[in-house]
Amino acid sequence: MEDHLTKSITHSNNITTISPHVVIFPLPIQGPINCMLKLANLILSLSPATVSVTFVTTDFIHRRLLLHSNTAARLAHDYRPRFRFETVHDGFGPDENPRNVSLLTMSLEAQAQAEGSRLREVLGFGSAEDEMKKPVSCIIAEGLYGCMVDVAKELRVPLVYFDTCSPCCLWTYFCIPNLLKVVDLPFQDDEEGLDASITSVPGMETYLRRRDLPSFCHAYDPNNPVIQLVLKEAQEFPKAQGHILNTFDELEGDYFAHIRALCPNLYNIGPLHLNLKSRIQQETTKSISNSLWQEDRSCLAWLDAQPPKSVLFVSIGSLASMTKDQLMEIWHGLINSKSRFLWVRRPGSIINKDEDTSQDDLEMIPDDLVEGTKKRGCIVSWAPQEEVLAHGAIGGFLTHCGWNSTLESIVEGVPMICWPFYVDQQVNSRVVSEVWKIGLDMNKDNCTRVVVEELIKELMETRRDEFSKRADKMAKLAAQAVAEDGSSYNSLNHLIDDIVSMRFSI
């Protein structure tokens, strides 16, 4: 295999031997950036000094990493010259312009497909600068970049996809052609029909409903850019030389048999952040920050003053948004529940608002909310989430159920109230509540103060011991998976070995 790669990847200096050089190409949003930077750290830390990594992202993302996280400086310092960032333009102008996920993906796919583009140059050599070019021996790309199959084939470089969504959701993606064939799709997106069962996703027949399908299946439009990307991902998935999944066998083993039938070479290396911590960060509880927002660490001191397992952590992640009406319903539900709460309200996450409702504007909020927040609440614009969930004061998590957040909650044994918004979050929410039974599923369209209050009381009070017991058991399984000789520990070693020896078959 090495001889084949050596002959296939050459440039003007007529290099006859190559050392392992991985190009990592994530989707340019917080979740995938966070995952893939952790993966880069693990590859660099656990592989020989001959292995180098180029991390390709947009200039917008790179500027935010430099501004708000310690990642860029730390990796450049610890692994110089083996690690470097390479940036490309996303085509969306100034930083204040909105970045839509589907548009970003389509834009970067177009760049990857364009002959002679800077991105193609980077994918071939890991750098656009002549003096820094080094042949690439492996591309690790976000699974939604279906075009990478053709790019990698042209460059004669092995391609490994990193599917940063959950395997349970990934499996539903791959079943969409069958859903269309048996006419489970399309369906009318009305409240009466949303609870109808979906029986054409093998392994999920007993619990999957229409409302649990990925958000783009609702009001199905075949011309939707996200649907086009997902269908292409399903088509191109078997053509890659391997697939990295951020999960562990004991959590989602039932789905692996289906996915492995499409691509036998799976690397189940999750929970990735726990694998990183157990292999590299044993000496500290502080997480490595890959944040695109400034973290307000004052919330940790506030948590220190709260009783054990008394605080509900509330966050809808890096992309989801809510209306002002939803904000007020959640706020009233929190106050009426009498629970302590730590609430992350990301800048720009409140839409259709007349006034800014940040911590500094509490005088513009009804008196009962102001007083209740002062007594039992803490509101910040962004928080170090891994550290928050690991804090002993946290007893529950009201979450959008993005995959990173779900795994981080599982690792710390924190039960969840799931309020999903889009893409994989609906599937995750259903599996959390009905399969793993470590949380409650809140209908996104039924966000009233009464429902919010009832679910908080159920999670934090009436069924607290029941949920905590199951969540603790799941956390122990996660820890065992990344411990020496655990399933994810061994799978990560397998991935590193294949990268170093270039054993991928192309």
Are 416 and 432 within 8 A, CB to CB? yes
Looking at the chain, the whole-number percentage of residues with pLDDT higher than 90 is 62
Overall size of the chain counted in residues:
506
Task: Encode pLDDT of 157-185 as tens digits.
Answer: 999 999 999 999 999 999 999 999 999 99
Domain map (residue ranges) of the chain: 2-166+237-285+481-501, 298-480
**Mean pLDDT computed over 22-36:** 93
Residue 113 confidence (pLDDT) = 64
Are 215 and 421 within 8 A, CB to CB? yes
Residue 355 confidence (pLDDT) = 43
Residue 461 confidence (pLDDT) = 97
- Is the per-residue pLDDT at 308 higher than 90? yes
Residue 351 confidence (pLDDT) = 81
Beta strand residue intervals within 131-176, DSSP E: 138-142, 159-163
**Mean pLDDT computed over 146-163:** 92
Apex CA 70: angle with CA 246 and CA 288, to 5°?
Answer: 35
CA distance linking residue 375 with residue 500, whole number of Å: 55
- Give the chain's mean pLDDT: 87
Which position has the higher pLDDT, 120 or 363? Answer: 120
The torsion angles phi and psi of 126, rounded to 5 degrees, stand at 80, 5
Residue 503 confidence (pLDDT) = 74
Residue 13 confidence (pLDDT) = 35
**Mean pLDDT computed over 316-344:** 94
Are 146 and 168 within 8 A, CB to CB? no
Domain 2-166+237-285+481-501 -> CATH class = alpha beta
Residue 112 confidence (pLDDT) = 67
Burial of residue 95, with CB atoms counted within 10 A of its CB: 0-12 exposed, 13-18 middle, 19 or more buried: exposed
DSSP 243-258: EEESS-HHHHHHHHHH
Q: Three-state SS string across 40-62, please?
A: HHHHHHHCCCCCEEEEEEEHHHH
Look at the block and give the residue holding tokens 């509101």: 379
Are 218 and 132 within 8 A, CB to CB? no
Which position has the higher pLDDT, 450 or 11? Answer: 450
**Mean pLDDT computed over 105-109:** 68
pLDDT classification of 272: cutoffs 50, 70, 90: very high
Residue 15 confidence (pLDDT) = 35
Could you tell me which of 168, 169, 167, 150 has the C-alpha nearest to residue 159? 150
**Mean pLDDT computed over 227-235:** 88
The torsion angles phi and psi of 263, rounded to 5 degrees, stand at -150, 105
Residue 358 confidence (pLDDT) = 45
**Mean pLDDT computed over 7-11:** 35
Task: Encode pLDDT of 191-221 as tens digits.
Answer: 668 889 999 999 999 999 999 998 888 888 8
Residue 253 confidence (pLDDT) = 76
CA distance linking residue 247 with residue 253, whole number of Å: 9
Residue 155 one-letter amino acid: L
- Is the per-residue pLDDT at 153 higher than 80? yes
**Mean pLDDT computed over 273-286:** 76
- Is the per-residue pLDDT at 289 higher than 90? no
Residue 80 confidence (pLDDT) = 85
Residue 91 confidence (pLDDT) = 74
CA distance linking residue 322 with residue 349, whole number of Å: 6
Residue 11 confidence (pLDDT) = 36
pLDDT classification of 254: cutoffs 50, 70, 90: confident
Are 267 and 494 within 8 A, CB to CB? yes
**Mean pLDDT computed over 465-470:** 97
Residue 247 confidence (pLDDT) = 95
CATH topology assigned to domain 298-480: Rossmann fold (3.40.50)
- Is the per-residue pLDDT at 304 higher than 80? yes
Look at the block and give the residue holding tokens 């995750």: 428
Residue 6 confidence (pLDDT) = 35
